Amino acid sequence: MTDLAVRRLLIDLDSPVARHWFGGDAFRTALFNALSMSFPVGEQFFIDSVRSGLKTLPDEEQAKYLLEAQGFIGQEATHRRIHGLFNLQIEKHGLVNAWEPRARERLKFLKDFHPRHWLAITAATEHFTAVFPDWMLRNPQWFDGTEERLKTLWLWHSAEESEHKSTAFDLYRALGGTDASRIKWFKRITFMFLSDLLRQTAGNLHRDGTPWKWRTWRSAAGFLFGQRGMIRQSYQPWRAYKRPGFHPSQLASDLSHQWLQSHTEVYLVMRPR
């Protein structure tokens, strides 16, 4: 198991955030604002899943996963706090977070589910938040023209998501989770995650007054499907999750470690590895 470091990000999120903070681009800004809107409730669910799953294991198994689980919880709690602050800034532009209330309503139905199912949902979502961040770390040029503190926010988050991408997955398997159930949950989460992301992005663009402008659609096409587009380069890694016998370590990359090692000035380690 991995002993995960918990880091405090040293950036200012009390200062206003520009309306089109992502390089002046309306579509990219709306999309990443939507993602950020999902994080506080999502990260809390991930924390609860890992904490509950760990407690369900026999004592000797708990000891095996304890340090990594604590690191995971610490990292996700930091992400939840940071994106909560970021969301307060973007909501000043008149944006409305419709994703979070929908997510909270769905979570009520999971209250009595075994923690194994919570972990299956968490592992599936964490696959998205590992594949997309890996793509971002490979393509930091998309952030050209973005304020440095906000570029740092997203790449730091990406690096830590890649770092802990196996935690929920391993706990799921330790609780007897099967490939069949894992893949079934992944298909459900893919539909819900992408539907919610599309709805919130469209809502953000509507409130921004930019949904029908030609440059918005041109930007969306290039960002998602262009030569170095998010979906174009992320589809195969995303699809890998549906393979029987898949493990997140099969998509290993050193990009997270490289970024964290080369940007030590932007964070303070609260709990070392």
> What does the pLDDT look like over 111-123, one tens digit per residue?
899 999 999 999 9
- Tell whether 221 is covered by a domain: yes
- Tell whether 1 is covered by a domain: no
- Tell whether 102 is covered by a domain: yes
- Tell whether 267 is covered by a domain: yes
- pLDDT band for position 30 (cuts 50, 70, 90): very high
- Tell whether 236 is covered by a domain: yes
- Tell whether 113 is covered by a domain: yes
What are 58's two structure tokens? 């026999």
Q: What is the per-residue pLDDT for 174? A: 97
Per-residue pLDDT tens for 178-191? Answer: 999 999 999 999 99
Residues of the chain with pLDDT > 70, as a percent, come to 98
Q: What is the per-residue pLDDT for 3? A: 77
Q: What's this model's pTM, rounded to 2 decimal places?
A: 0.96
Total of domains in the chain: 1
- Tell whether 106 is covered by a domain: yes
CATH assignment of the domain containing 118: 1.10.620
Domain hosting 22: range is 6-271
- Tell whether 218 is covered by a domain: yes
pLDDT for 59 beyond 70 = yes
